[in-house]
Amino acid sequence: MATTTAPGPVRPAGRPAGDDPPSRRGRRGVRRSYLPYLLLVPAALLELGIHVVPMLVGVWMSLLELTQFHIRDWSTAPFAGFENYRVTFDFDSATGRDLLHSFWVTALYTTLSVGFSWMLGLAAAVFLQRPFRGRALLRTLFLTPYALPVYTAVITWTFMFQRDTGLVNHALDQLGLIDGANPPFWLIGENSFVALLIVSVWKSWPFAFLCLMAGLQNVPPELYEASAIDGAGFWRRLRDVTLPMLRPVNQVLLLVLFLWTFNDFNTPYVLFGGSAPRQADLISIHIYQSSFVTWNFGLGSAMSVALLLFLLVVTAVYLLVTNRRREHA
């Protein structure tokens, strides 16, 4: 990295200095300074087209009264100013109150899902750190949920969670854990949150496992040997060797898991068929309901912009805090 960004021409390795005539050196210098930018252009264009422009369009939409009457020709949509935001943040009205409720549900869901996924991932990674017979098989097995297409997997969960014909209730009944004559619901009512959480953890823990496993490869075995000689037990080694060495991995992993889980749309959409029960009303599906289903795209965009700002703030604070802590450490 350092050599390519250093100013001035850099010679390719292995070519003796003074090989180039002085007249060509100048031209190459100019070309080199353009080249990195030229190589960045496609990525920058794609980034603009895929992220920045739709984002700005979204911000613009949030300032319009964009309902079915204007959806065909946006220029006819009346400018609403911050009216959509006022409705979004009016927590006394049904719309604002439900959004706030949905926000808390999502916050709880994200905390629990990321927490469980991380713990499971760490446990599995530590367990598989040392070679033993069948390790490769277990690794493959653990990564299966990550390799399955989300829709197919969640549809299968939907079948499993059905009250009368689902595998989950059948298994619980066989184990004598539930009353077979009056089995619980998983896809509606209070349990729907638990069902959603189970699917979410099932879906995201292999990613945590994968990252942590990779991180553990970089922990020098000498550290464990040294600490073992010093008499450190399993928990002590975990706390004083493994976790500190994994800090850089954890910093990124937790952030990515948080963002993915907080924004998760596919899991609740497939699991609950578009209208989630109140107990499991995640924010992404709530926004979908408030815009697509009720055809109020201005309001939906305002909610989306608010969500984006919230996630930006959380991310910024998180990075600030974790980076500072690392500097102090």
Partner 1 sequence: MAVAALLTTASLAACGESGDSSEGAAKTLTYWASNQGASIEFDKQTLQPELDKFEQQTGIKVNVEVVPWSDLLNRLLAAATSGKGPDVVNIGNTWSASLQATNALIPFDDATLAEVGGKDRFVPAALAAAGAPGKPPAAVPLYSLAYALYYNKKMFSDAGITAPPTTWEELVETGKKLTKSGQWGLAVEGANPSENSHHAFTFGQQWGGEWFDSAGKPTFDTPQNVAAVKRYVDLMAVDKIVNPSNAEYAQNQSVADFANRKAAMLLWQAAGSNFKAQGMSPDEWGIAPVPFPATPPPGGKKVNSMVAGINLAVFTHTENREGALQFVKFMTSDAEQVILNKTYGSLPSVKTANADPAFQAPEQKVLGEVLGSTAAPLPQVPEESQFETLVGTAMKELFADAAGGKPVTEAQVKEKLGVAQQKMGS
**242 vs 304 by CB, closer to partner 1:** 304
Out of 19, 164, 222, 327, point to the residue binding partner 1 (CB under 8 A): 164
237/214 Cα distance (integer angstroms): 18
CA distance 285 to 264: 8
Q: Pick one of 179, 190, 225, 230: the residue that binds partner 1 (CB under 8 A).
A: 190
- Return the range that interacts with partner 1 (CB under 8 A); candidates 17-25, 111-119, 299-307, 316-324: 299-307
Q: Are 216 and 129 in contact (CB under 8 A)?
A: yes
Nearer Cβ to partner 1, position 212 or 307?
307
Sign of the dihedral defined by the CA atoms of residues 213, 251, 234, 204, in that order: negative
Distance of CA 21 to the CA centre of its chain: 53
Give SS3 for 79: strand
Determine the interface stretch with partner 1 among 143-151, 194-202, 222-230, 272-280 (rule: CB under 8 A).
272-280
Residue matched to tokens 């107990």: 279
Q: Which residue type occupies 152?
A: T
- Is residue 24 near partner 1 by the rule CB under 8 A? no
Q: Is residue 300 part of the contact set for partner 1 (CB under 8 A)?
A: yes
Exposed / middle / buried, residue 283 (Cβ in 10 Å: 0-12, 13-18, 19+): buried
Using only C-alpha atoms, the chain has a radius of gyration, in whole angstroms, of 26
Q: Is 299 in the site for partner 1 (CB under 8 A)?
A: yes
In this chain, which stretch among 102-110, 115-123, 213-221, 270-278 interacts with partner 1, using CB under 8 A? 270-278
Q: Does 277 bind partner 1 (CB under 8 A)?
A: yes
Distance CA 32, CA 20 (A): 15
Residues 96-125, mask of contacts with partner 1 (x by CB under 8 A): --x---------------------------
Q: How far is CA 110 from CA 16, 195, 261, 319, in A?
A: 57, 14, 6, 18
**Smallest separation, CB 61 to partner 1 (Å):** 6
For position 89 contacting partner 1 by CB under 8 A, the verdict is no
Closest separation in Å from C-beta 286 to partner 1? 11
Would you count residue 267 as binding partner 1 (CB under 8 A)?
no
Closest CA to 99 of 313, 268, 300, 260: 300
Q: Which residue in 275, 310, 315, 325 binds partner 1 (CB under 8 A)?
A: 275
Q: What are the structure tokens assigned to 111, written together? A: 């905390």
* Residue 84: both structure tokens together: 């959509």
User: Binding residues for partner 1, how many (CB under 8 A)?
Assistant: 49
Q: Which is nearer to partner 1, 88 or 117 (CB)?
A: 88
Cα separations (Å) of 258 from 194, 240, 252, 320? 18, 25, 10, 16
Q: Which two tokens stand for residue 122?
A: 């760490």
- Does position 63 interact with partner 1 (CB under 8 A)? The reply is no
Does 180 bind partner 1 (CB under 8 A)? Our answer is no
Closest to partner 1 by CB, 20 or 190: 190
Contact positions vs partner 1 (CB under 8 A) = 54-55, 57-58, 61, 68-69, 71-73, 87, 93-95, 98, 162-164, 185, 187-190, 263, 265, 273-275, 277-278, 284, 287-297, 299-301, 304-305, 307-308
